[in-house]
Structure 1
Amino acid sequence: MTALLEVEGLSKRFRGLRAVSNVGFAVPKGGIVALIGPNGAGKTTTFNLIAGVFPPNEGSVRLDGRPITGLKPHQVCAAGIGRTFQIVKPFGDLTVEENVVVGALARERSVDTARRIARGVLERLGLAEQSFRPARSLTLPDRKRLEVARALATRPTLLLLDEVLAGLRPTEVDRMVEVLRDLNRREGLTILMIEHVMRAVMALSDHVVVLDHGEKIAEGTPADVTADPRVIESYLGAESL
């Protein structure tokens, strides 16, 4: 399968601290890849390197064969990568729809077109009935969905999801899993996700990459990775056996 995202030899240091070291993996077009590992493993730093928050010390990132290493975040967004953030911070005084319109305007000049895009995204994510509520009034599950909606409004070919299931109850996790599965299967959206909810990782992902202390220690199918002794020792724990 053709790779949409190719990460090669990615490394990043902060004042001598090695956050990411020689990380490489690929995300196929139309696939769902999970990036997992313990806290502090370098997962979000890897996302930030892909999304242009800061440049890598070494390595490269290519999207659909085009180099995007070192681009600014707005340039990475324009190239086709949308992302969410681990800590959701909507514009609280704006309505739900206005928040998504802001996302759409990242690639649209017409406010009317951006509004049409926003309404379509909100409908897909089940937030249409809350369009005119202030974002600050939403529950955590709905703020999570709004975060995904803002990213989708940028019309990405690749969506980076940073722990969108964290803090959700099991029924809320199941609902979000169905939303993401639908986006992937019906619309062909490619997804790279950081996630700690392993049952969601097992249900959604085709391929899993495991980081620990900034290094890739394993990758493969969900079943293969969860049976890997290195992954069990560093992340899953003996109780997963």
Structure 2
Amino acid sequence: MTHLSVNINKIATLRNSRGGNNPDLVKVALDCERFGAQGITVHPRPDERHIRYQDTFDLKAVIATEFNIEGNCREQKFIDLVLANKPAQVTLVPDVLGQITSNHGWDTIKEQDYLKEMVSSFKNAGIRVSIFVDPVIEMVEGALATGTDRIELYTEAYASHYHEDSAKAIAPYVAAAKKANELGLGINAGHDLDLNNLQYFAQNIPNLLEVSIGHALISDALYLGLENTIQLYLKQLA
């Protein structure tokens, strides 16, 4: 079964909008675990507009499932944060300063030397490494050379075109996943996956290990309730 890691950035956004600690980010994370999530994901950014750096320390102290910290490893503060917390997994994302949300994968060929250095530093600390990539065979092959344990397929393009032609939308992801399997790379996925497109994706991507879902899941929870929503997402992955 593919694991579900719940990204709780949006919970932090809601909390920060009024100050104080309502909703309680740590309690929500523990409840997500209690409701069946197999992991918790956070993506701190330099402006701390949602996840604050202190949140990662608070969460690391209590999370019993896998803790995944995403972010831009070009920021020294992010590197220091990950090394100080030693999560189960770090996911390296090529964000730029001020970016609203992630919108592309690494160029694993042009950035190969840099990524090798970053991957090595995290792996030497005992942290599993995943790097964000687009569903392009050359980028998957380049990822192997960085030494990463896994890739995370950036799924925005799939989600955008799923309702037009699901088979066409998923084709490059299937090809990329097959190449990753051939090379011995683990496969994660994330971005814009939801209750409409998740099951088809999971059923067609061979050896999909983990999906990280935040915005859609938290939005659904406003209508369906958090516990019920997590159960519904888990059913799509069964």
TM over 0.5: no
TM-score (norm 1): 0.43
Larger relative helix fraction:
2
Larger relative strand fraction:
1
Larger Rg: 1
TM-score (norm 2): 0.44
